[in-house]
């Protein structure tokens, strides 16, 4: 799998029309599905993380001070409110660059920089010399993104006074083309669904130099060295420590702002029992029992 800037959204179960139903970003459905389905509603963590990526090759994002600007923007995003109101609790505020379903996930690695803190955000932005111009967040209009992008910009604007707005591209290809070419000038939405359940899969494909999904064009030799160290570790604990040390560098450099983890959301009919979804968000059909 690849870094699905416009393609990876929350895992959506492949469902039988008579037994299972999946929901993708419909505000009306998210408002009501838990109450409608009760114990038959599914809302559980999955291996998907949503984020905001910056083109580090663009002049305004390649300076040393821009790291602090990105950290300040991250602290200006009220993840808790956005996930509760826009996503109706079907997202969880991010605290690292991975997912709660993998070993090595950390609730503390991003620390204050993934915590809504208006006073600290303002102070850090001032230390960085402020922000000139307009912050635009690019997204594809054929996906359910406008509401959360608008809410994110509102949070940033109210906290930091930065002029922020969403920039919509008509479809996935239109958004993806300038990102692939390395000509995107604005920040843009990104989402990653794991290929396999490992912390490494949330790091190497996205942030290693030259990696196919390194859309930010992130380049930190120390980060790459820690990835290689983790790959060579003889124990799982040793590997995880190296990968987490690499994550700490991502917090310092903030090429990508972690936003939230997407849940598997869906439900099943009264005609079946023992319905379970795996960590990829796919129904375990072999366990489903028809009444």
Average pLDDT over residues 157-168: 98
pLDDT tens by residue, 183-200: 999 999 999 999 999 999
Query: Where do we find the tokens 């990102």?
Result: 179
Q: How much of the chain exceeds pLDDT 90, in percent?
A: 75
Q: How confident is the model at residue 66 (pLDDT cuts 50, 70, 90)?
A: very high
What percentage of the chain has pLDDT greater than the value 70?
89
Q: What is the pLDDT of residue 29?
A: 67
For the chain, the structural domain boundaries read: 49-263
Mean pLDDT of 235-253: 98
Is the model more confident about 21 or about 61?
A: 61
Residue 25, pLDDT score = 41
Predicted structure pTM score: 0.87
Say yes or no: domain 49-263 is CATH 3.10.105.10: yes
Average pLDDT value over all residues in the chain: 89
Q: What value does the mean pLDDT take over residues 121-129?
A: 98
């Amino acid at each position: 799998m690849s870094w699905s800037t416009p393609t990876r959204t929350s895992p959506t179960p492949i469902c039988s029309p008579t037994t299972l139903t999946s929901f993708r970003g419909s505000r009306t459905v998210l408002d009501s599905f838990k109450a409608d389905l009760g114990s038959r509603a599914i809302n559980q963590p999955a291996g998907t993380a949503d984020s905001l990526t910056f083109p580090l090759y663009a002049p305004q994002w390649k300076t040393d001070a821009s790291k602090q600007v990105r950290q300040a923007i991250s602290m200006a995003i009220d993840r808790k409110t956005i996930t509760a109101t826009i996503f109706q609790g079907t997202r969880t505020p991010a605290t690292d660059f991975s997912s709660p379903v993998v070993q090595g996930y950390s609730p503390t690695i991003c620390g204050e920089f993934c915590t809504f803190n208006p006073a600290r955000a303002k102070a850090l932005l001032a230390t960085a010399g402020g922000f000139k111009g307009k912050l635009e967040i690019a997204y594809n209009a054929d996906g359910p993104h406008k509401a959360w992008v608008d809410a994110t910009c509102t949070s940033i604007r109210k906290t930091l006074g930065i002029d922020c707005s969403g920039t919509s591209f008509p479809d996935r290809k239109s958004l993806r083309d300038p990102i692939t070419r390395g000509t995107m000038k604005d920040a843009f939405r990104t989402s990653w669904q794991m290929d396999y359940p490992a912390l490494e899969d949330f790091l190497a494909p996205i942030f290693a130099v030259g990696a196919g999904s390194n859309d930010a064009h992130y380049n930190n030799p120390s980060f790459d060295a820690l990835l290689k160290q983790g790959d060579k570790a003889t124990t799982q604990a040793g590997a995880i420590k190296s990968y987490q040390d690499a994550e700490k560098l991502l917090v310092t450099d903030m090429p990508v702002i972690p936003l939230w983890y997407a849940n598997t959301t869906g439900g099943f009919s009264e005609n079946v029992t023992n319905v379970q979804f795996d960590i990829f968000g796919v129904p375990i059909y072999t366990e489903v029992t028809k009444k």
